[in-house]
Every structure is written in structure tokens, then in C-alpha cells.
Amino acid sequence: MRRLLTVAALTAATALPATASAFCRTWSCDPRKEACPADPDNPACYQGGDPKRHKRLFWPQKCIGFSLNQAASSQLGTDPFGKFQKVADTAFLQWQEVDCGEGKKPTIAFADLGAAECDLHQYNSSQANANLLVFKSKTWPYQGAENQLALTTLTFNVDSGEIYDADIEINGTQKITAGDVEVVNDLASILTHEAGHFLGLGHSPDGEATMYREYVPKSTSMRDLADDDRKGVCSIYPPDRVNLPECNPIPRHGLGTKCELPLTDDKGSCAVAATCGDQGGDETCAMGPLPRSSAPWFALALGGLALLRRRRS
């Protein structure tokens, strides 16, 4: 079932002040192969790019659909999928309903496409897809399981920066809480942060921003966007974007709720998933062949949200 995210009773965000911003964009730069320079518009950004060779990442359409793995997590207690869905819808709605000034909203909207059976991050270049949110509850398949709370992987066109697919993996080996229970690692904070990566934002150097790279356990402040976050989404998706495709939240090549088997014909190829942040990168086979065109795609895994480990005095 498709659920368009609309406002029932949501406090209006404050219009953006005209002060300097610290928000960072994600660039089509592979740190495995080159030193990614600072963003020319903001040298404080962790990852930037060469504007002559790299592109800032963005969704070219207005309407984006996402799906939730049906298993959710047993940590969420009774009705785990219902809680997962409620928190995810609220997280994406925060970004959608930002006031970019004069009551105008970003030209981006989300639709909850319901439950998906698939529990794998994958992108298929010729088969159905899902922009998936999934808990990894048995094992965390990346480095830093004790520190990392989530990982967002974007698949995009390297020539244009257009995002094709986004998947959010949540580290279920950590204690994750939602709802009215005592907060440990707050799912609402985690998903609001990862939704920013989903949109093409990188980590912000602003310690007050939801897109700051570190999360303080038991806190809920990242549930609510800061001015820096609002400026970021309004910069990528300004209200005056024109000539947008007709609103259609279905992913590229159709909605796929089941995991697709990898194709094994001679057209198959591998894509590099470069993990940014404090981790190295891993080479993984893409689920499906790379398109034979002048604009191949590339998968970039963003470092997600890390637990803040305080130094001993």
C-alpha cells in the first residue's frame, strides 16, 4: 500500500535565517581512488569534490518512494513494523515540510510504499528496485559494529550526479529504541539523520545539526532539524526547481518487494561501494549488470551515524 506523506498536525518549521551555512553536499568522488578535496563552497566539509570532474548528488524527480523491511526489529517491542513505519514516516516528513522561506517547501516529497520482503541492500539496473530501510539484527556486515548505528548507500549516475537508488541499513546489533520506552539509541534520531544522507547531504561540521556525524547515546535532539539542515535541503531542492518529471514515487524499473537474484550473464559487472567516513571501502558485485552506456552508475556508502565515544580524562 502506498502512503503519501502528508501533514496532519505538524508544527511549522521556522523560515530560514540568512546566516552562513555549514551543511555539506555529497559528491560523486571515490575516496578509494583519489583524495576527495574540500567542497569549494564550504572547506569544512569532510567530503567534497572537484567541480570540473565530480557532481553533487541529488534526486532529479520530486516524488521518492521508500519501503520498509517487513521484519523490522524485535527490539521495538509489540507491533515492531508499525513502530518502524511511524518513525520512518515522521523522519522523512521532517525534511519534506521544511520552510524554505515565505512558506515555500523544498521540491521533494516522499511516499511510504509499504512492506518489503527483501532484506538486502541492492540495486538492479534492469529489474525492479526498492529504496529500502532495513535492520541488520544478526550481524553488522561492515567494520565498526560497536560504533556505527546506520549506513546509507546511494547509487547514482557518475556523469550527472542523479541518484538512482538509496538504501538505509540500521545496526540492529546495537540497542535501538523507539516510542515511549527509555531512550538508548533513538531510532527517530537515527532515521532523521539517514534521511538527510538519502537526500544527498553529507555530514555537517555544525555540532547542533541533525547531519552532524556523531550521536550522543540517550539523546533525542537529532529528531528535530536545525537551521543548517533546513538550509541544506532547500539548497539541493529549492522551491523554484522547474521542469520536474511527473510525480511518480515508484523506483527505477518498477517496485520490487522481493530480493532479485544477481544476473550472471556476460554483461554482468561489479561496482565499487566506497565507504566514506572512518572506514575503508569494499568491492562488491552489483545485483544486476552495469548498463552499457556513456553514463555508468556507481554506489557510494555514506558513513552514517556514529556513536560519540568520549575520551577519558
CATH number for 218 = 3.40.390.10
Q: Please state the rounded mean pLDDT for residues 273-294.
A: 29
| Residue 6 covered by a domain | no
| Residue 3 covered by a domain | no
pLDDT digits (tens, 9 = 90+) for 228-283: 999 999 999 999 999 999 999 999 999 999 997 654 332 322 233 333 222 222 22
Q: Please state the rounded mean pLDDT for residues 147-152.
A: 93
| Residue 288 covered by a domain | yes
Residue 280 has what pLDDT?
A: 28
| Residue 55 covered by a domain | yes
| Residue 72 covered by a domain | yes
- Whole-model pTM: value is 0.82
Q: The domain containing residue 88 runs over which residues?
A: 23-308
Contact 200, 64 (CB under 8 A): no
| Residue 2 covered by a domain | no
Residue 55 has what pLDDT?
A: 87
Residue 272 has what pLDDT?
A: 30
| Residue 17 covered by a domain | no
Residue 14 has what pLDDT?
A: 32
> Which one-letter amino acid corresponds to residue 142?
Y
Q: What is the DSSP string of 169-194?
A: EEETTS--B-TTSPPSSBHHHHHHHH
Residue 6 has what pLDDT?
A: 44
Look at the chain and report how many structural domains it folds into: 1
- Whole-number average pLDDT of the chain: 80
| Residue 18 covered by a domain | no
- Report residue 71's pLDDT band, with 50, 70 and 90 as the boundaries: very high
